[in-house]
């Protein structure tokens, strides 16, 4: 079991993944965070017809004879009201967004007009097309506006709505089973006896997976017994598309997960050269992909973000890109280590500082701040250096 780089781990996972979910139609209003299974192609022009960019008067430019020549106001066109063709030699009162009547080629903003209700005096008239937004200017019929694989954001739903689409084709939510192992784990609300600790990974992972749009199937804590673990993993392989466990895959004698997964499928233990987070297992249980995260909560958190997330997104069919770190000024000194390090950090207008107990296994280090400094293997960081930071928000 040699050490591999994060890049190699991600590459191996990428090569072994495929989209595990089918498609379904849902209502647009249920679409937030869902993943498009088909492109969205506009069936309409936006705007659908030439319309007015201003409140003012629509006319045929050549009908204007000068600032003293009054034009009869022959109609009034509000947004949403279909106009009549423009009577020759007249002007139409028109409002922003309203359709330009046939026969008009120009809109003059109201500030340049004087009107008495019956007729209007117009100071000056622009070129044909002035203050008119032409049909299809923004989106032409047949344009692909969103592609399959897009995780839908609020503005994407707005865009789809603006094209008149009310049902969309999305990927079924990826079902992810989670289970923890560890005799020492107690549920919050119970009393922790001597040597016992509260199960934090379960709450954290459920929330991370839900946040990413997956359907979580929670198997709780499996007793550290090969028979029990085997039963849980078998059930999980039936009920979920992917299985994620925490704990049980290090080299300790009490870890039975490895042997069980091996008996039901296969498992590879990787030592990924990142800190926190070294031990990581990948394999399958009766055909269902299996990800074994470390038991240490901070390691589980970091490996879930940087290793599990991109893999699960691939299984869900999300076309995601690598997260782009932002550059900030270091407010700390830190020697590099042989492994890539994710230093839990907090950013402010002056720069980025790091939590002073980076070795700690408690989640407090991840809650204290809002992101992580990415320190490359062997890279020494000095106060004032420009460093790479990944805000947690970017992993949402």
Find the binding residues for a copy of itself in span 7-36 (CB under 8 A).
28-29, 31-32
Which one of 35, 120, 160, 217 is in contact with a copy of itself (CB under 8 A)? Answer: 160
**363 alpha carbon, distance to own chain's centre:** 24
List the one residue from 8, 87, 367, 376 that touches a copy of itself (CB under 8 A): 367
Find the binding residues for a copy of itself in span 176-205 (CB under 8 A): 182-205
Residue 87, phi then psi, degrees to nearest 5: -65, 130
To a copy of itself, the closest distance from the beta carbon of 154 in angstroms equals 4
Least distance in Å: CB of 162 to a copy of itself? 4
Q: Which of 104, 125, 159, 177 binds a copy of itself (CB under 8 A)?
A: 159
Q: How far is CA 11 from CA 14, 301, 337, 383, in A?
A: 5, 20, 23, 33
**DSSP for residue 306:** I
Nearer CB in complex with a copy of itself: 81/382: 81
Locate 256 and state its tokens.
Answer: 């039975």
Q: Which of 65, 69, 153, 335 binds a copy of itself (CB under 8 A)?
A: 153
For residue 340, state whether it binds a copy of itself (rule: CB under 8 A). no
What whole-number distance in Å separates Cα of residue 93 and Cα of residue 120?
Answer: 9
- Residue numbers 34-93 binding a copy of itself by CB under 8 A: 44, 46-49, 51, 55, 77-83
- The count of residues interacting with a copy of itself (CB under 8 A) is 100
| Residue 217 or 288 having the CB closest to a copy of itself | 217
Please tell me the number of Cα atoms within 13 Å of 70 on its side-chain side: 10
Residue 378's contacts (CB-CB under 8 Å, 6 or more residues apart) are 336, 337, 338
Q: What is the dihedral of CA 44, 166, 25, 143, to 10 degrees?
A: 20
Closest alpha carbon to 363 in 355, 352, 351? 355
**Window 284-323: residues binding a copy of itself (CB under 8 A):** 297, 301
Q: Which residue's CB is nearer to a copy of itself, number 310 or number 391?
A: 391
Query: Can you say whether residue 360 is alpha, beta or left, with left for phi > 0 and alpha for psi between -120 and 50 degrees?
Result: beta
Q: Please, what is the minimum distance in Å from the beta carbon of residue 298 to a copy of itself?
A: 9
Rounded Cα gap, residues 349 and 247, in angstroms: 38
C-alpha torsion sign, points 37, 43, 45, 47: negative
Using alpha carbons, select from 293, 285, 302, 242 the residue that is nearest to residue 269: 293
CB-nearer residue toward a copy of itself: 80 or 287: 80
Letters for 101-140 (x = contact with a copy of itself by CB under 8 A, - = none) are --------------------------------x---xxx-
- Using CB under 8 A, which of the segments 60-68, 270-278, 311-319, 346-354 binds a copy of itself? 346-354
User: Nearest distance from residue 174's CB to a copy of itself, in Å?
Assistant: 17
User: Do 35 and 316 touch, CB atoms closer than 8 A?
Assistant: yes
């Amino acid at each position: 079991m040699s050490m591999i780089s994060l890049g190699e781990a991600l590459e191996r996972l990428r090569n072994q993944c495929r989209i595990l979910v089918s498609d379904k139609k849902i209502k647009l209003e249920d679409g937030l965070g869902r993943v498009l299974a088909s492109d969205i192609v506009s069936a309409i022009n936006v705007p659908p017809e030439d319309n007015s960019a201003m409140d003012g008067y629509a006319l045929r430019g050549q009908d204007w004879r000068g600032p003293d020549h009054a034009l009869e106001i022959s109609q009034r066109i509000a947004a949403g009201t279909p106009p009549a063709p423009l009577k020759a030699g007249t002007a139409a009162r028109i409002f922003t967004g309203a359709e330009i009547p046939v026969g008009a080629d120009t809109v003059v903003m109201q500030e340049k007009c004087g009107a008495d209700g019956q007729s209007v005096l117009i100071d000056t008239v622009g070129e044909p097309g002035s203050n008119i937004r032409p049909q299809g200017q923004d989106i032409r019929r047949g344009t692909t506006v969103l592609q399959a694989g897009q995780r839908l954001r609020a503005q994407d739903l707005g865009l789809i709505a603006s094209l008149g689409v009310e049902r969309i084709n999305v990927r079924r939510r990826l079902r992810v089973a989670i289970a923890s192992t560890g005799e020492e784990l107690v549920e919050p609300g119970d009393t922790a006896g001597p040597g016992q600790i509260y199960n934090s990974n379960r709450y954290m992972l459920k929330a991370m997976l839900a946040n990413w749009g997956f359907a979580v199937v929670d198997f709780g804590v499996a007793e550290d017994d090969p028979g029990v673990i085997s039963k849980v993993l078998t059930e999980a392989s039936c009920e979920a598309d992917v299985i994620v466990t925490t704990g049980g895959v290090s080299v300790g004698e009490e870890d039975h997960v490895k042997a069980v997964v091996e008996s039901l499928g296969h498992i590879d233990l990787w030592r990924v050269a990142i800190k926190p987070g070294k031990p990581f297992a990948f394999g399958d249980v009766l055909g269902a992909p299996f990800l074994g995260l470390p038991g240490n909560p901070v390691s589980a958190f970091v490996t879930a973000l940087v290793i599990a997330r991109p893999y699960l997104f691939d299984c869900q069919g999300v076309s995601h890109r690598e997260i782009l770190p932002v550059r900030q000024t270091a407010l700390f000194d830190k020697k590099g280590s042989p492994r890539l390090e994710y230093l839990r950090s907090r950013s402010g207008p002056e720069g980025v500082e790091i939590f002073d107990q980076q070795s700690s296994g408690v989640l407090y280090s991840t809650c204290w701040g809002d992101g992580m400094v990415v320190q490359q293997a062997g890279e020494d960081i000095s106060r004032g250096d420009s460093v790479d930071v990944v805000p947690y928000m970017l992993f949402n």
